Every structure is written in C-alpha cells, then in structure tokens.
Structure 1
C-alpha cells in the first residue's frame, strides 16, 4: 500500500483501520446508524490528519488482495439454485445495466466538457455496484431478491473491468476502439474466467479429499480465491469470473469433500475476514477522499463538484429507469406461466433499483487509469475522474444506503415461506433416514437397546415435537449450560491454585467451548419451535 513517502508506516495504518472498524462497529450497533457511512466518515477524518495527508490507496491492493477474497466468500454463501433460476435477470443486470450505466455516465460527462474517451473511462469505473456495500445494507431482503443483488454485484465487476481495460487502451493510444474487438474481449474474458474458475475448483476437489488436517483445509480455503484469480489475470481473462465460478463450484461440491471441523473453522475465518476486509475498504476509501480533492488540478473544484452531482444523478437515475422499463419489456416478451409466478410488483422492484451503491472497487478502478499515454503524453482529466468517482461513492452510500431499509419495509415483501417449508422438509427427511438406519447401526456398533431407543425418541422429538417437548429440551439445555459454567469455574480455580498447567486448562477448555457452542445452536432451534408448543406466544 503506497503512502507516497509521508512516513506513515503500514503498521500504523493497520492499527488505525482496526481501531476504526471496532469503534464504528460498536457505534453502529448502539445507535442504528449506517455502518458503511460511519466507516467512510472516520476514514475521511483520518485522511485530513497530517500523517495521512499523502496517503494513496494502491489499486493493486484492492483488486488483487481485497477483491478475490470478498468475491469468493460472497460466492460461497450464495445459492446456486437461486442464481440458476434467476440467471436471466442477473445476466441482464450484470451486463446490460453495466453498459447502460457506462453510456449514460459518459454522455453526461461528455456534455459537461470531458473528452469522449475519458468520459467512457468514467462510465466504466462507475458502472458496477459494490458487493460489500450491497451486502452491508441489504440483509433484510427476501432470499431471492438478495441473491439477485449479490450475484449482480459479483458479476458486474467483471463486465466493468473488461470495459475499463478497453477504454483505457483507447485513452492511452494503445489501440483504436472497435465494436468487434470490444465484443471479442468480452467473450474471451467471460469464457476464460469461467473455464479457469471451474478448472481450479474441480482440480482442488481431490486435494481437499486427501488433506489430513483441518488446519491444512483452512489454509487451502484461504488460498483458493487467489489460486483462481492469479492465472486468470495472467492469461488476461476475467479474474472476477474465475473467483466467482470457483466459489460457486466449491459450494456445490464442497459438502461431499469438506469435513465438519474444516467447514466450521473455515466459516469462522471467512466471517471475520470478510467483515474486516469490507470495513477496512470503507475506511481506506474515506482516507483517500481528501487526497482526491487536493489532487484536483485539471478543473476547478466547483466544476468537478457540479459534474460529480450530475454523474450521481445519472448513476442513480439509470438504475431506476432500467428496473422500471427492461423487466416490463421482458415480461411482455416472455409470458410463460413459470415466469409469471416469479414476477414482483412495482413497489417490490424499488429496493432492487435502490441498491445501487458504489464502493472501493470503483475507486480502485479509477486509480488504475494511467497518468500518461503510451507516447508519454499526460492523460488529461484523470484527477477529475478520481474526484468524481469518490464523490459518487459518498453520494450513493449517503443517500441510498441509509434509506434502503425503509424502502425494503415499504415494499412489503411476503414472508419467505419456501425457506421455512424446505427447512421442515430437510429435517423430516434427515430424521426419517436416521430412524431407518438406527437399528442396523446400533447392532453393528454394539449399542445397548435401551440407549438406541432413547436416541430414537430424541430423533422423533426433533422431527415432530410432542406438546411441551420443546420447553423440556430448553430447560435441559439451560441446566447443561449452568453445569458447564460450574466446570469452567472449577477448571480456572485449579489453574489459579497451581494444580494444573495453562496447557491443560486450554485442552479441557476447548472441549467445553465446543459443547457450549453446540448448546447455543440448539437454543436457536428451540426458539423457532417454541411457538408450536405455546400458542400464546404465536
């Protein structure tokens, strides 16, 4: 990460970011304020301090470190089935909407006096939505809508980065623009990224099967997005598509080859890592904002501010126009019954249109624009591109982000009954399979008949709880937790008295921790089922 010789050490920056993430996360949870906005604000304040006055966010750090990791985790936690069922909508938004936004932004910028090539660079930079920003504020949406948004934000980065590469080549005089060349670049980038991502994921399946330790599984999980991204970038195809495809294929085949210990450890790591990376990006963007203002020299601040406001309107307006025009055209052309069942109302379409926040990927893309052409000429208005991009990020996060939850509530989405039904179906089928297998397994393993009968009753209770069974299980759970606490206190007393070593304490404590986590998860299911036992609470 480049600090341009200001003397700011990397360790100092890490400490500042970590403290900012902790403080703003706590403040957001206490006040209900938008966490991305708070992080952006604290970053901006940090950027105004003298030690960080010359801070320059390296685009390589964002595009080669942050982006693969975040895309991979988003892909791992996406629904392959929902993506397949909504592929047309996702593909249209990830390609058509990106191109439409780029053209709209370019038209506005060109009308305000920017050269056409640099206007299209700005359009490509601001075309994609930000996966981190969308994920941070769109959690209250129904599963299907959220999947569409997340998949769009995963894939539109690939479209925008290809478009940006083409426009940069035009700006730097490396090659003239041609429609056929651009179309070929898109096809090669998409196809190459998908092939490489699929190949890496499939090649790693036998590796995952043969890894002997949970720790090595976790190391491979961390390395996987970069193993997919690097060869794609070296071959000049879409690293974004490679990572996303790799994540989706891993999601599909992972349950067959990844053990429970490795999965629990990997999920815990990725949840922390993705939260930290997302939050750090917002702070780093904020730190960069004052530098973007100071670097503005090609146009006046007032002119750039007017252009930024106009471009912000174009970005938001294009998305609104898209969602209230293109889907209706598709609806007119496709009248199949299965498509009619998936339609949503106009108010329910607004959250999709409103979730158009831009973020660090756009700023990193703007910073990749070279300062000079291939012939050594200065790229005019590059500083304005960075400034306008930074302002649009702030505007969308400030205007769209905090208001999105209200828009979602007013859309009045129906309750996701499909998920509830599928959870019930899964539990019933699992319990039935376990009950069928229990007698043979108990006989083979030498389990006493009485113990097998008790286990069968427990399985039956989980599948179809008898009246009051949930409350009894909850009472037993609380008793077990209380007994665990007694054991913990005793363990600490033994250590404090010098009768056992710290290593022994940690060994036993690990067993107690696993048991407590298990009991905590049981509480979640007990709460969900309690309304069936107690009508007064329904």
Structure 2
C-alpha cells in the first residue's frame, strides 16, 4: 500500500511525464495521462489507490468548470444560445436513452444501461487539448459552451436514475420535471448570487493575493450552496464563472489579474492531468473485477456504444437544424447556418473525457453492473480520444472551413481603437495629474510608436514588438539574457542576496515577456 505522500509524488510525476511527452508523440496530454494511469495500475501497490467518487465532484469539477466558464466568451455564447441549449440538454437525454436502448438490446438491465448512458452523454471539449484549437473560433466556442452545461444535465439524469435503482421508489413525470427545474433554476439563482457576492468582494479587496484567494473560494461556495438546496452545483459554478468573467475586468488590479491567469492556468492543467491519471488507475482496478468470460461481449458493447454516440450526435444536429429553419426564417438566422460537413466535424469533435469516467466511478458500490459500467465507459472514452483524436485533423481539412480571421482582426481593431483613444487622452490626463510637458510628450511618443507597430504588424493581428520589429526584439532579448547571467553571477559571488536576485529577475522577466512572442489565444 502506497502512503498518501507517495500517491502525490506518483500522480504528480505521471502528470509531468504526460505533459512533457505529449508534444513529442503528438498525442493529447489527457489521453497520455489516462494511459499512464492504466499502465501504472499493473503495479499491485498502485492498484490499491482508490479515488473516492465525491472527490471528483467537490474538488476537481468546480475548479475545472469555473475556469472554463471564466474564459468562455459570453457574446458568442449568447449568439448561438438556442443551439447550445439544445445540444447540452435535449441531446444529453436522447443520447443517454440511446445508449440505454443499445445496452438493453444486448441483455443489460434498463437501469444499469441508463446509468451508463448518463455517464457517456456529456462531451468534454478540453479532453483533446490543442486539437480543438484547429477548429474555427465559432465551432470551438460552441463545443466549450456545450460541455459546460451538459455536465449538469448528465449529473441530474444520473442522480435520478441511481436514486430510483437504489431506493426502488418510482418518480412520476411531474416529479422528474420538478427535479430538473430545481436543478437548473435553483443552480442558476445560486450561481448569480455567488457571482454578485464575489464581485462585491473583489471590488473591496485591493491586495492581489487576498483577491485571488477569494476567487478560489467562489466556485466551491457556489457548488456547496447549490448542493444544500438540492440544485445543480455544476450550473451554479458555470453561472458564477460567467458572471465573474463580465465583472472581473473592472475589479482588482493589474497584478491580481496577472496572478489569477498564471495561477488558474497551472492549477487547472495540473488538476485535469491528475484527474485522468487517477481515473486510469481506478479504471484498471474496476476492469480487473470483470469476469474474463464477459470481456468479449463488453468489448462489443464498447464499439456499439461509441458508434451510437456518433450517429445520435450527427442525426440530432441535422434534425434540430431542419426544425430551426422551419420555425425561424429571419435573414439573420440564415447567416448562422452550418453545412453538413461542419456537423460531421462537430460530431467527431464530441469527445468523452474525465466527467464520463468520474460519473461511472461514482456509481455506488454494490450497484448491479457497476464494474461493467466502468469497463464500457473506459473503453468508449479511449475510443473517442484515440480514434476521434486521429480523425479530427483530417476531418477539419475535409470540412473546407473558410479561413477564420475574425478573432485576429478583432484583436487588431481593438488594439488600434484603444491605442488611439489612449493617445488622444494624454493631454487631458497629463493636465489632470499635473505631469510636466516633457513627461507628457514622452508618453505620447510611446503610444504613437505602439500605433505604428500595429500598422506595421505583418499579419495585421499582432502589434507586439516581436512581430513588428524582429531584429529589435532579438537584440533586446539577447541583452536581457546577458543581464540576467550577470545578475546570477553576482549572486554566486555573494555580492547580492537571493532576495535581490529574485526581485530584479522578476523585472527582467517582465521585459522579456514584453519583447517575446505572445501567448496563443484560447
């Protein structure tokens, strides 16, 4: 049996290994983490590590969903709201019952098959990492928004099904409808309350560390409040995240926002990798519990369930598009239409990931068919990540999407508009703060230079020094690297302390980031 510290070191090492190997082998990091977890499960001591089902719901899910909601553009979400709601609610129910029907045809009980359907119904847009970035911006945002909401629908369906199966109590249609309404409306109301309280806190807290500590508490508080009210914690977290995404830019300081982006990026990537590793280890144990004689039939079910997911998703998109065209013939609706090729790409991009496996593992011990549910869920997730992950780049090229320059053009236009506005405000603001003419002229000259860099940028989207003047940036980076080496040498000779090194190196790093290539837009 591995002690808790050993578990932390093992999982952390596998997460680092997966992140390091992913670019080399050109496999999504999440798939590598899952495979590493499965492989490590062959070690008997590692196989004894078990992931409590509640840990996923109260530790991993709030953090991952909150950051995903925080970085999802609300404007695009509103534009395609009807499609997103249909995909994240009705499609989840249709998919769950489609998988249940497939299982029943193969001899499964309806309850076990429906629990499996609820686990496999939600998509996971983050499961493939950089592959989804190849999609046009609108398609990628639809997938992300769909995966935010459909987790809540799947968890409600899972809770109802498991409750009926374990208690033997039958729910009427009105009772089920009431539970769904409570889950969505109650979760949404609690999410709004958490977002408002979080905004009030952030506006009154000026210390960067304290402000970001408060941000970390928001998703857990929203999830806890919703659970106490028997509403959907997932919906509460998503709504709170969307609210903070709108109010956050006006709250806090530049330092707190920089800290938040860095902290949450590291935390969410680490937790996502750890979740896949732990689920791989847990799935290894569950798969071993399945009798060998049942394996061929379960493998067949894995393939059939995977094919059913693809067929249901494609057919649902075609039918809903046809129905929307019948009821809405406005000219604006025609501009939102997508060709069938785009729907094929969306079907292939509908990966299953950590949430599906976590829901399968959350099935109570002793539930009839639990081991088989985990086995099939693991097999389907592996098929979506491996097969669909290999097909997606080919499908994107086959889809013949028009070059998507909307985001880069918007970035460039926004940079130009804000820079011109800032330049025009310099005289007024200089008089307000009492700056001397020499300082006023220097600031104005800097903004005029920034405006020239925007106009000279090679692709019209990147106004950074790196794109506008590569030679200047390269020399500047070389000088800063030499400066850093001299600084470290002074520390090694005991001429300065480690504290002085840390402070000055932070300033050098800021200059390096200003000159270097910008981070990709997600």
Contact 1:43 1:285 in 2 (8 A): yes
Match of 1:282 among 244, 262, 276: 276
**Partner of 2:156 in structure 1?**
162
Match of 1:429 among 411, 417, 440: 417
Match of 2:64 among 70, 90, 95: 70
Match of 1:95 among 89, 101, 120: 89
Change (3 A) 1:491 1:192: same
Change (3 A) 1:135 1:241: farther
**Partner of 1:488 in structure 2?**
484
* SS, match of residue 507 in structure 2: helix
For normalisation by structure 1, the TM-score amounts to 0.90
Residue 390 (str. 1) matches residue 378 (str. 2): yes
**Partner of 1:262 in structure 2?**
256
Q: How does 1:135-146 map to 2 (within 5 A)?
A: 135=129, 137-146=131-140
Match of 1:229 among 199, 220, 223: 223
Contact 1:229 1:240 in 2 (8 A): yes
How many angstroms apart in 2 are the aligned matches of 1:193 and 1:248? 13
**Partner of 1:376 in structure 2?**
none
Give 1:297 deviation, angstroms: 4.7
* SS, match of residue 128 in structure 1: coil
Comparing 492-501 with 261-270, greater Cα deviation is found at 492-501
Contact 1:299 1:384 in 2 (8 A): no
How many angstroms apart in 1 are the aligned matches of 2:515 and 2:38? 43
Comparing 27-36 with 389-398, greater Cα deviation is found at 27-36
In the comparison of the two structures, how many residue pairs are matched? 513
How many angstroms apart in 1 are the aligned matches of 2:125 and 2:406? 25
Match of 1:511 among 507, 512, 515: 507
Change (3 A) 1:209 1:472: closer
Structure 1 segments unaligned to the other structure (5+ residues): 1-6, 373-378, 529-538
Give 1:230 deviation, angstroms: 1.1
Contact 2:298 2:376 in 1 (8 A): yes
**Partner of 1:199 in structure 2?**
193
Residue 460 (str. 1) matches residue 448 (str. 2): yes
Residue 107 (str. 1) matches residue 101 (str. 2): yes
Give 1:414 deviation, angstroms: 1.7
**Partner of 1:83 in structure 2?**
77
Change (3 A) 1:467 1:347: closer
**Partner of 2:312 in structure 1?**
318
**Partner of 2:246 in structure 1?**
252
Contact 2:72 2:141 in 1 (8 A): yes
* SS, match of residue 49 in structure 2: coil
* SS, match of residue 172 in structure 1: helix
Residue 438 (str. 1) matches residue 426 (str. 2): yes
* SS, match of residue 133 in structure 1: coil
Give 1:163 deviation, angstroms: 0.6
Change (3 A) 1:461 1:414: farther
How many angstroms apart in 2 are the aligned matches of 1:361 and 1:524? 32
Change (3 A) 1:34 1:481: closer
Give 1:446 deviation, angstroms: 4.2
Contact 2:128 2:385 in 1 (8 A): no
Comparing 465-474 with 294-303, greater Cα deviation is found at 465-474
Comparing 245-254 with 484-493, greater Cα deviation is found at 484-493
Match of 1:449 among 427, 437, 442: 437
Match of 2:498 among 494, 498, 502: 502
Give 1:365 deviation, angstroms: 1.4
Contact 1:90 1:152 in 2 (8 A): yes
How many angstroms apart in 1 are the aligned matches of 2:436 and 2:473? 25
Comparing 297-306 with 454-463, greater Cα deviation is found at 297-306
**Partner of 2:397 in structure 1?**
409
How many angstroms apart in 1 are the aligned matches of 2:173 and 2:377? 26
Give 1:418 deviation, angstroms: 2.6
Contact 1:39 1:283 in 2 (8 A): yes
Give 1:389 deviation, angstroms: 1.4
Give 1:232 deviation, angstroms: 0.8
Moved over 6 A (4+): 466-472
For normalisation by structure 2, the TM-score amounts to 0.92
Change (3 A) 1:432 1:136: closer
RMSD, aligned α-carbons: 2.4
How many angstroms apart in 2 are the aligned matches of 1:493 and 1:382? 61
Q: How does 1:111-190 map to 2 (within 5 A)?
A: 111-133=105-127, 135=129, 137-190=131-184
Change (3 A) 1:482 1:370: closer
Give 1:328 deviation, angstroms: 2.4
Match of 1:304 among 291, 298, 316: 298
Q: How does 1:3-14 map to 2 (within 5 A)?
A: 7-14=1-8
Give 1:28 deviation, angstroms: 1.8
**Partner of 2:364 in structure 1?**
370
Give 1:135 deviation, angstroms: 4.7
Match of 1:239 among 233, 239, 242: 233
Contact 1:366 1:385 in 2 (8 A): yes
For residues 407-460 of structure 1, give each alpha carbon's deviation from its aligned partner in whole angstroms, at most 9, with x where no partner exists: 122212222333233223312321222122111222344444344334323323
Give 1:472 deviation, angstroms: 7.6
Contact 1:36 1:136 in 2 (8 A): no
Contact 2:491 2:501 in 1 (8 A): yes
How many angstroms apart in 1 are the aligned matches of 2:484 and 2:140? 41
